[in-house]
Amino acid sequence: MLLTKKIGKWYEIIIPKEWNEVTVDGIFREKWQVPKKITHSFRTQKKVHLNGEPANWNVPLSTGTKMQILLFEEEEFSMSPAFIDVEILFEDDHLIVFNKPPFINTHPNSEGDNDTLANAAAFYLLARGEIRNIRHIHRLDRDTSGAILFAKHPLAGALLDKMLENREIKRTYLALVQGILYRKQGTIHEPIGRDRHHATRRRVSPAGQDAITHYKVLKEDPKKQISIIKCWLDTGRTHQIRVHLSHIGHPLAGDVLYGGKPIYKRQALHAAKLEFKHPLTEEVIVCHAPFIDNPPIFRDISVETL
């Protein structure tokens, strides 16, 4: 882990031995792979200091040097804060992980759509005196519950976006599916594209985007012909788990859009675990999201064991 601390609006990092002789430019462009636009703004606006003085971005750094980055400026909210009671699984100065309830969107999809998790996140920060334009890093469908990651400032957002792109953020889901799977563990590697016959559906399509879903059966109920499976993804396509499981003949219970029977009040999908290395402290973060409205078959499943 890096040695770090918050000093007012500034975030201080003590340069570790692994960064010895690396420049500030090298940290932003190579180690963190920050987008050019954000890197340019930090450089031209002198938002990086070394030992309290504006940094020369091209001078090699020495172990023990104190690098300060201006991260915690107030920002105008991009959406209306709205109170929704949401459980917090992890929080620090840079990011926050919520346990999203079902039946709310991750973010507004239209004008006047203010009852979303993003609105709730804005309200939560405002109530704490943090005037930030909070950003979601990934999405969960409206009816899907569980762990979801937000960034509190642009640099954290950029670093987490890159980690998501590089598949460095691992998401594990629990799904209640129709039927008993013949193969108890496997991988579904099928491209996913839009269904031209339906505005919101996706489907397996040779012309679609590459998509990989791994799964493992955890519990079965032969009498009711339902199973609980654990899923984890190498990609993050829209409706990926729903499409892939429907494709192999085991749609999610309650997911009528993809062939599931209405035996559950929503698509039975829960983002149970989120794990990643913190982009600014290098701490390993593991979040387990407790079930919010689990059916009886989930009772013997502990998210902490996933």
Catalytically annotated residues: 141
Contact 177, 253 (CB under 8 A): yes
Q: Are 298 and 291 in contact (CB under 8 A)?
A: yes
Q: What b-and-e string marks burial along 162-178, b requiring 16 or more CB atoms within 10 Å of the CB?
A: ebbeeeebebbbbbbbb
Report the alpha-carbon distance of residue 32 to residue 157 in Å, rounded.
Answer: 12
The C-alpha atoms of residue 112 and residue 182 are separated, in whole angstroms, by 46
Distances (CA, A) of 134 to 76, 77, 172, 296: 10, 8, 24, 36
Question: How far is residue 268 from each of residues 162, 174, 244, measured CA to CA in Å?
Answer: 29, 8, 14
C-alpha to C-alpha distance for 140 and 107, rounded to whole angstroms: 10
- List phi, psi (to 5°) of 252: -65, 140
CB of 174 closer than 8 Å to CB of 298: yes
